[in-house]
């Protein structure tokens, strides 16, 4: 009887394990793996440094088989890239490798300007003040901004072309002559694009929640670097504002330090229109909990460690006591999607503004 019982035990245990797997119940090993992943922190990108394409996850079909039939929902999100390839804009990776040969090239001029054209081919009123959102992701921030403030022109730049194509389709659907999206890698160079802008129209540059690149080996992929900030300094008119924010304090510290180190920018608490940014009702959104909700257990990375915790120019923007000062609230009362999600959890946002100032010649 004991032997029979043992046999049944040996048979039933694998069957039970397989049943749990089919039901989606994680095994102990899987639970330990998930716990380890949580301890390690979030992953910065799924793309290896050698990868040069977004692969099937971007909506492309696998080779070697007949194309799968697309549902009505899939067809709705299919967009055609500049190469003629069709992809699903809802299946684009969250992060791509900006150093791969597919992306590592300076931002090209809009096609309307490549034959010597001017910005009046892009905006109905090209001399209106311009807001430039670098890393605009899906483009909702610029889309809603263009609706709310038609007296401003909005320009969104995003490295993932499928998102840009879809965002421009939204622009056409809403008939917004003050909005445009461009595909390109800002960290590879934006000088030509910025030089082409009408003189003096650029009033604000936004960089909001860039990829944190948590892993040490991914630090070289960061978008905000001294090189990018130097280009911005060279082409932003005096009095214009660089507005940056992140929900990861160490990323915000890096951006602030790099901005101070390149020179030509001055930390400010005033917007380009002169509005002073102060705490509202005594609430400082850089210090949790900042609302009635307790901070949740969701993906809040405000204290996450970036790489080794060391970087070039570290401490350049810190005060005498080594601490960093952040804006207490959004200076424009206009939130990005990521920002709204973070604040809804009671987690902090780390914001800063720098004004482009006149450089004094050493001579």
The model's pLDDT over 53-106, given as tens digits with 9 standing for 90+, comes to 444 344 444 444 555 665 655 677 899 988 889 999 988 888 899 999 999 999
User: For each of the chain's 363 residues, which pLDDT tens digit applies?
Assistant: 444 444 444 444 444 444 444 444 444 444 444 344 444 444 433 333 333 444 434 444 444 455 566 565 567 789 998 888 999 998 888 889 999 999 999 999 999 999 889 999 999 999 999 999 999 999 999 999 999 999 999 999 999 999 999 999 999 999 999 999 999 999 999 999 999 999 999 999 999 999 998 888 888 999 999 999 999 999 999 999 999 999 999 999 999 999 999 999 999 999 999 999 998 888 889 987 665 555 555 566 777 888 888 899 999 999 999 999 999 999 999 999 999 999 988 899 999 999 999 865 544
Q: What is the pLDDT of residue 62?
A: 41
Q: Say if CB 190 and CB 132 are below 8 A apart.
A: no
Q: How far is CA 309 from CA 33, 190, 216, 250, 296, in A?
A: 25, 28, 9, 8, 25
Q: Say if CB 80 and CB 161 are below 8 A apart.
A: no
Q: Which two tokens stand for residue 132?
A: 């430039």
Say if 167 falls within a structural domain: yes
Number of CB atoms found within 10 A of residue 200's CB: 13
Q: What is the pLDDT of residue 41?
A: 45
Say if 10 falls within a structural domain: no
Number of domains comprising the chain: 1
pTM for this prediction: 0.78
Query: Look-up: residue for tokens 């263009």?
Result: 146
Question: For the chain, where are the E strands, in sequence order?
Answer: 78-80, 86-88, 130-134, 153-158, 179-183, 202-208, 241-246, 265-267, 350-356
Say if 130 falls within a structural domain: yes
- CATH at residue 255: 3.40.50.150
Say if 335 falls within a structural domain: yes
Please tell me which residue in 133, 211, 247, 257 is annotated as part of the active site: 211
Say if 306 falls within a structural domain: no
Residue ranges making up the domain that contains 338: 96-270+328-356
For the stretch 280-315, pLDDT in tens is: 888 889 987 665 555 555 566 777 888 888 899 999
- Closest listed residue to residue 319, CA positions, set 276, 257, 264, 277: 257
Say if 321 falls within a structural domain: no
Establish how many alpha carbons lie within 13 A of residue 168's alpha carbon, considering only the half-sphere containing its beta carbon: 19
Say if 219 falls within a structural domain: yes
- Closest listed residue to residue 215, CA positions, set 33, 34, 96, 41: 41
Residue percentage of the chain with pLDDT more than 70 = 75
Active site residue 211: yes
Say if 46 falls within a structural domain: no
Q: What is the pLDDT of residue 22?
A: 44
Q: What is the pLDDT of residue 283?
A: 85
């Amino acid at each position: 009887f004991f032997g029979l019982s043992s046999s049944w035990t040996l048979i039933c245990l694998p069957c039970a394990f397989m049943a749990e797997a089919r039901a989606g119940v994680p095994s102990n090993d899987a639970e330990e793996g998930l716990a380890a992943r949580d301890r390690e922190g979030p992953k910065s990108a799924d793309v290896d440094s050698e990868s040069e394409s977004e692969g099937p996850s971007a909506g492309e079909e696998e080779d070697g088989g007949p194309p799968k039939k697309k549902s009505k929902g899939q067809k709705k999100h299919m967009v055609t890239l500049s190469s003629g390839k069709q992809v699903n804009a809802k299946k684009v990776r969250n992060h791509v490798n900006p150093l791969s040969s597919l992306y590592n090239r300076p931002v090209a001029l809009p096609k309307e300007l490549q034959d010597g054209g001017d910005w009046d081919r892009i905006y109905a009123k090209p001399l209106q003040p311009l807001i430039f959102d670098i890393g605009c992701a899906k483009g909702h921030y610029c889309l809603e901004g263009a609706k709310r403030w038609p007296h401003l022109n909005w320009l969104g730049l995003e490295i993932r072309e499928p998102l840009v194509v879809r965002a421009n389709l939204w622009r056409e659907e809403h008939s917004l002559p003050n909005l445009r999206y461009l595909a390109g890698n800002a960290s590879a160079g934006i000088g030509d694009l910025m030089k082409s802008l009408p003189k003096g129209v650029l009033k604000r540059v936004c960089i909001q929640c860039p990829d944190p690149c948590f892993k040490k080996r991914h630090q070289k992929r960061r978008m905000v670097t001294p090189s990018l900030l130097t280009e911005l300094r060279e082409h932003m008119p005096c009095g214009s504002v660089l507005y940056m924010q992140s929900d990861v304090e160490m990323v915000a510290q890096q951006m602030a330090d790099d901005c101070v180190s390149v020179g030509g920018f001055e930390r400010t608490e005033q917007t380009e229109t002169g509005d002073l940014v102060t705490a509202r009702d005594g609430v400082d959104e850089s210090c949790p909990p900042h609302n009635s909700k307790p901070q949740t257990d969701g993906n809040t990375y405000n204290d996450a460690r970036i790489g080794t915790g060391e970087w070039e120019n570290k401490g350049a923007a810190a005060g005498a006591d080594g601490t960093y000062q952040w804006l207490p609230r959004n200076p424009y009362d206009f939130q990005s999607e990521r920002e709204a999600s973070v604040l809804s959890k009671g987690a902090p946002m780390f914001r800063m503004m720098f004004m482009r100032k006149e450089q004094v010649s050493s001579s």
